[in-house]
Amino acid sequence: MSNATKKTATEARAELKTVKQTPGASKPDAILVVDNVVRDFGGNRAVDVDHLEVQRGVITALIGPNGAGKTTFFNLITGFDQPSSAKKMFGGPSADKAAKWSFNGKLLGNTAAASVAKSGMVRTFQLTKALSRLTVMQNMLLGAKDQRGESFLAAFVKPLWAAQEKANIAKAEDLLKRFKLYEKKEDLAGSLSGGQKKLLEMARALMSDPVMIMLDEPMAGVNPALTQSLLGHIQSLRDEGTTVLFVEHDMHMVRHISDWVVVMAEGRVVAEGPADTVMSDQAVIDAYLGAHHDTDLGDDALLEEGAMDAPKKEKK
């Protein structure tokens, strides 16, 4: 079985080779298709994505400098925020301009966060949300889907949910072993270190067997050794058939593991393509380093009026 899924992961990656490297390029097997998602905060347009597709079965990295709108975009598609361009009962944008996104062939506009997660798109948070006063194991069990014991009346009668609970515990133990948290399973989640909380959050998200996992800066604040193992986990997720979309602002982190990179700047998708080529894209370099990144800021000559434009002229 693992051979078969590995093949599809490789196939999915192979398919990407044929994709045009332009913002909003269409993918051969898109799992997530986003159209016209706009989010304004007052006069500030934080997110303005016309069209974006995410290929199934690969690791897509969403990168961009601080304030590019990556997390806001995440919140919008996972139902934690509503786009300003959403369809409204009165007024609002016309049907073809309204925000619209589909996941796994299912339209998701105006869907509550819980329903988004139920449909198989599970996210983690930039600031980890471990449930501090629950044990690590309880945190894990919360992630399991369709629990009978979560309905109010069934909760009173243990035999109705005991078997399912047992299976979930076994699954959680497997995942905890994989993420090296097994020894901590009876500790309160609040007592874990920051990096361990990141691992726990990821493991918890995996309890629901997501079709697509959305990781919001999984590497932020994690030491290099743990980063390496996190990257390993993300890769093995892909090899098992899960689609991964993750946000990161450190370009070098994503270089090794991502199959496709989408670059956002000032709310827009400015470039996309495989990691090695996209990083030499002029738009990306401008976004990250500014258009004058070649200029030596220690040069006294720059203090003079018009000096910033001078180097360009010289080059010409």
Q: Which long-range contacts (CB under 8 A, 24 or more apart) does 183-188 make?
A: 184/136, 185/135, 185/136, 185/137, 185/140, 186/135, 186/136, 186/137, 187/135, 187/136, 188/132, 188/133, 188/134, 188/135, 188/136
Say which amino acid occupies 49.
Answer: V
Asked if residue 204 binds another protein (CB under 8 A), the reply is: yes
Best CA proximity match to 108, nearest among 11, 31, 223: 31
Among 6, 13, 51, 145, binds another protein (CB under 8 A): 145
Nearer to another protein, 208 or 227 (CB): 208
How many residues would you count in the chain?
A: 316
> Considering just the CA atoms, what is the radius of gyration of the chain in Å?
22
- Tokens found for residue 20: 């045009």
Asked if residue 169 binds another protein (CB under 8 A), the reply is: no
Among 2, 90, 91, 152, binds another protein (CB under 8 A): 152
Q: For residues 121 and 107, what is the distance between their CA atoms, to the nearest angstrom?
A: 13
Say which amino acid occupies 191.
Answer: S
Asked if residue 302 binds another protein (CB under 8 A), the reply is: no
DSSP, residue by residue, 77-143:
HTTSS--TT---SSSSS-TTTS-EEEETTEE-TT--HHHHHHTTEEE--SS----TTSBHHHHHHHT
Asked if residue 150 binds another protein (CB under 8 A), the reply is: yes
Asked if residue 158 binds another protein (CB under 8 A), the reply is: yes
Among 5, 8, 208, 235, binds another protein (CB under 8 A): 208
Question: Closest distance between another protein and the C-beta of residue 1, in Å?
Answer: 25
Question: Closest distance between another protein and the C-beta of residue 133, in Å?
Answer: 5
Q: For residues 303 and 297, what is the distance between their CA atoms, to the nearest angstrom?
A: 9
Asked if residue 82 binds another protein (CB under 8 A), the reply is: no
Q: Which helix (H) or strand (E) holds 166?
A: helix 158-178
Among 142, 169, 220, 283, binds another protein (CB under 8 A): 142
Asked if residue 301 binds another protein (CB under 8 A), the reply is: no
Among 19, 25, 169, 188, binds another protein (CB under 8 A): 188
Asked if residue 194 binds another protein (CB under 8 A), the reply is: no
Instruction: Give the full edge-to-edge strand order of the sheet including 59-63.
Output: 121-123, 212-216, 243-248, 59-63, 260-265, 268-273
Asked if residue 288 binds another protein (CB under 8 A), the reply is: no
Q: Which of these ranges, 101-109, 111-119, 176-184, 250-258, lies near another protein under the rule CB under 8 A?
A: 111-119
Asked if residue 117 binds another protein (CB under 8 A), the reply is: yes
Give residues 242-281 in contact with another protein (rule: CB under 8 A). none
Asked if residue 78 binds another protein (CB under 8 A), the reply is: yes
Cα angle 239, 203, 253 (rounded to 5 degrees) comes to 60
Q: For residues 91 and 140, what is the distance between their CA atoms, to the nearest angstrom?
A: 43
- Give how many residues touch another protein by CB under 8 A: 44
Among 13, 19, 125, 302, binds another protein (CB under 8 A): 125
Nearer to another protein, 25 or 134 (CB): 134
Footprint of another protein (CB under 8 A): 78, 80, 112-115, 117-118, 122-125, 129-134, 138-139, 141-143, 145, 147-152, 154-156, 158, 161, 165, 188, 190-191, 201, 204-205, 207-208
